[in-house]
């Protein structure tokens, strides 16, 4: 059975900050952010845009853009590390907003930035073993990366959601059915205690943990594979990675290349030219969206995938590798095969028009958003107004009343249309 990604879509906040402007405001050379991190802009979520609203909007896009009947969704999973409740899953809010059927298996996954990939693997197994009975899985990666003003992690913020439909009709990408490599180790490289609204991170240590996990996951995949040459760099037209910041992908690809070559390659060695060439051809080309959105935690890898699919043809791509990493830590390495003809869906998945329509924030506007978000962290709030934030979306967070989160937004139009069609068909049969 062929299982993979039938549809994919991105949704992000309606505002952004230029990293060069942020650098100047913090008294830092802009090159430190734009060249050192590889980031150009970062998406900024207003208080009315949260993990739920981004997940719902991404899901609506993926169903509508690919003409998928919501009634066909049998499993819904949201992977997130910035949920809105310690108990109630984001997925339940999404289920309600989309009007999905009552017997849709619905839950949330968490393992830092690995949560969405864990959900993808679970959906793949659910369909492959025959238990889906023709149904599809809707997997959403939705997160807000937020750090305190002036924190070293401030330029690595971002926000967004990627929604994917996994099915036995993989119009975009088919997963390798044989092998995936895994790696897990308890480390304190990045974490957010229950009492803290923002995360703690040991940056340099986390980079080392990431690279060690990449090696562990790749070695595990090679050990399991009947045909290890499937993972050979020369057979891969693209290698995409978890992207907390764009330059991390360069470090990841360097390590990946070293493992493939069977030797350490110093940046001063002659072979490093090969590393740079491979990175330019197989990875760097698919980082433009990450560079203007920022870190979206669980969705970062899949944002690179969108970039890959919107900018390639099936003549260019036959086989790709995907590396997912979540701090704490867990990682996986897997192989996938772009479906011949996937380029016909390019317009349906390309988020660039919406990204270009975002409004640029001044640094003072951005800081006001962060301060207000912190003040809304506990207790009831006054109702938030979209016009005060220059927002145009129809599904937004309105604030809390009696400790209950409230949202504004009509049920998904495609859901209503499909429901009417089914009702009319049922009445006709009777």
| CA 70/CA 60 separation, integer angstroms | 9
Nearest to 240 by CA among 300, 162, 182, 181: 300
Phi, psi torsion values for 295, nearest 5 degrees = -75, 120
Residue with tokens 């009007």: 99
- Helices (H) and strands (E) counted in the chain, each on its own, are 14, 16
Given pLDDT bands bounded at 50, 70 and 90, which one contains residue 413? very low
Core vs surface per residue 58-72: b (16+ CB within 10 A) or e: bbbbbbbbbebebbb
| CA 180/CA 322 separation, integer angstroms | 10
Given pLDDT bands bounded at 50, 70 and 90, which one contains residue 260? very high
List beta partners, residue 193.
none
User: Cβ neighbours of residue 21 under 8 Å, at least 6 residues apart?
Assistant: 362, 363
Exactly one of 11, 111, 113, 329 is catalytic; name it.
Answer: 113
Exactly one of 11, 15, 171, 242 is catalytic; name it.
Answer: 242
Query: What pLDDT is stored for residue 214 in this prediction?
Result: 98
User: Mean pLDDT, the chain, as a whole number?
Assistant: 94
Reply yes or no on whether 113 is catalytic.
yes
User: Cβ neighbours of residue 50 under 8 Å, at least 6 residues apart?
Assistant: 84, 144, 397
Model confidence at 352: pLDDT above 70: yes
Distances in Å between the alpha carbon of 158 and those of 53, 256, 357, 373?
A: 15, 26, 17, 15
User: Cβ neighbours of residue 279 under 8 Å, at least 6 residues apart?
Assistant: 249, 250, 253, 254, 257
Which three-class secondary structure state does DSSP give residue 238? strand
Q: Could you tell me how many residues make up the chain?
A: 430
As given in the structure block, the two tokens for residue 290 are 């990450």
Residues 242, 79: contact at Cβ < 8 Å?
no
Q: Running DSSP on this structure, what letter comes out for residue 287?
A: -
The whole-number average pLDDT for the span 396-409 is 91
As given in the structure block, the two tokens for residue 405 are 């989160």
Reply yes or no on whether 401 is catalytic.
no
Sign of the Cα torsion 409, 412, 416, 417 reads positive
Given pLDDT bands bounded at 50, 70 and 90, which one contains residue 213? very high
| CA 214/CA 260 separation, integer angstroms | 12
Exactly one of 6, 14, 49, 81 is catalytic; name it.
Answer: 81
pTM score, whole prediction: 0.95
Helix-helix angle 90-98:51-65, to 10 degrees? 40
How far from the centroid of its chain's Cα atoms is residue 121's Cα?
A: 15
Query: What pLDDT is stored for residue 89 in this prediction?
Result: 98
Nearest to 332 by CA among 266, 422, 241: 241
Nearest to 301 by CA among 139, 70, 60: 139
Q: What are the start-end ranges of the H helices in 115-236?
A: 115-128, 203-224
Residues 161, 142: contact at Cβ < 8 Å?
yes
Query: What pLDDT is stored for residue 166 in this prediction?
Result: 98
Nearest to 298 by CA among 130, 61, 54, 14: 54
Residue with tokens 């390659």: 265
Residues 257, 302: contact at Cβ < 8 Å?
no
Q: What are the start-end ranges of the H helices in 262-403?
A: 272-282, 288-293, 300-310, 346-349, 352-356, 363-375
Element (H, E) at 424: helix 413-429
Reply yes or no on whether 104 is catalytic.
no
The whole-number average pLDDT for the span 126-133 is 96
Check residues 134 and 197 and name the one with the higher pLDDT: 134
pLDDT digits (tens, 9 = 90+) for 301-346: 999 999 999 999 999 999 999 999 999 999 999 999 999 999 999 9
The structural domains of the chain, ordered by start, are: 4-338+346-429 (3.40.47.10)
Model confidence at 419: pLDDT above 80: no
């Amino acid at each position: 059975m062929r299982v993979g990604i039938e549809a994919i879509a991105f949704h992000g906040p309606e505002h952004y900050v230029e990293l060069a402007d942020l650098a100047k405001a913090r008294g830092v050379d802009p090159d430190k952010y734009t060249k050192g991190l590889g980031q150009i802009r970062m998406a900024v979520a207003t208080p009315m845009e949260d993990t739920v609203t981004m997940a719902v909007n991404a899901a609506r896009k993926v169903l509508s853009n690919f003409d998928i009947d919501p009634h066909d969704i049998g499993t819904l999973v949201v992977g997130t590390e910035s949920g809105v409740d310690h108990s109630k899953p984001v997925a339940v809010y999404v289920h309600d907003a989309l009007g999905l059927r009552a017997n849709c298996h619905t839950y949330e996954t968490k393992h830092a930035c690995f949560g969405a990939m864990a959900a993808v693997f679970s959906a793949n197994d659910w369909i492959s073993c025959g238990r889906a009975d023709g149904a599809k899985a809707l997997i959403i990666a939705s997160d807000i990366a937020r750090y305190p003003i002036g924190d070293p992690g401030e330029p690595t913020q971002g926000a967004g959601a990627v929604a994917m439909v996994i099915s036995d009709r993989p119009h975009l990408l088919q997963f390798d059915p044989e092998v995936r490599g895994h790696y897990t180790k308890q480390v304190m490289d990045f974490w957010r205690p229950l009492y803290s609204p923002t995360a703690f991170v040991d940056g340099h240590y986390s980079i080392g943990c990431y690279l060690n996990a990449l090696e562990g996951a790749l070695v595990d995949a090679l050990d399991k594979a009947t045909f290890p040459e499937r993972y050979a760099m020369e057979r891969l037209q693209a290698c995409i990675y978890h992207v907390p910041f764009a330059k991390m992908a360069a470090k990841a690809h360097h390590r990946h290349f070293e493992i493939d070559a069977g030797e350490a390659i110093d940046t001063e060695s002659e072979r490093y030219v090969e590393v740079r060439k491979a990175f330019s051809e197989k990875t760097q080309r698919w980082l433009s969206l990450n560079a203007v959105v920022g870190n979206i935690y669980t969705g970062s890898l899949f944002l690179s995938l969108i970039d890959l699919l919107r900018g390639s043809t099936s003549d260019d791509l036959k086989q790709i590798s995907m590396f997912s990493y979540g701090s704490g830590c867990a990682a996986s390495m897997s192989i996938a095969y772009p479906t011949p003809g996937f380029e016909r869906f390019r317009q349906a998945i390309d988020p660039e028009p919406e990204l270009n329509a975002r409004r640029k924030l001044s640094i003072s506007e951005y800081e006001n958003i962060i301060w207000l978000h912190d003040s809304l962290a506990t207790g009831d709030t006054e109702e938030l107004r979209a016009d005060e934030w220059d927002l145009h979306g129809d599904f937004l967070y309105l604030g809390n009343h009696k400790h209950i989160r409230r949202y504004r937004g009509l049920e998904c139009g495609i859901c209503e249309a499909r429901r009417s069609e089914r009702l009319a068909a049922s009445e006709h049969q009777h």
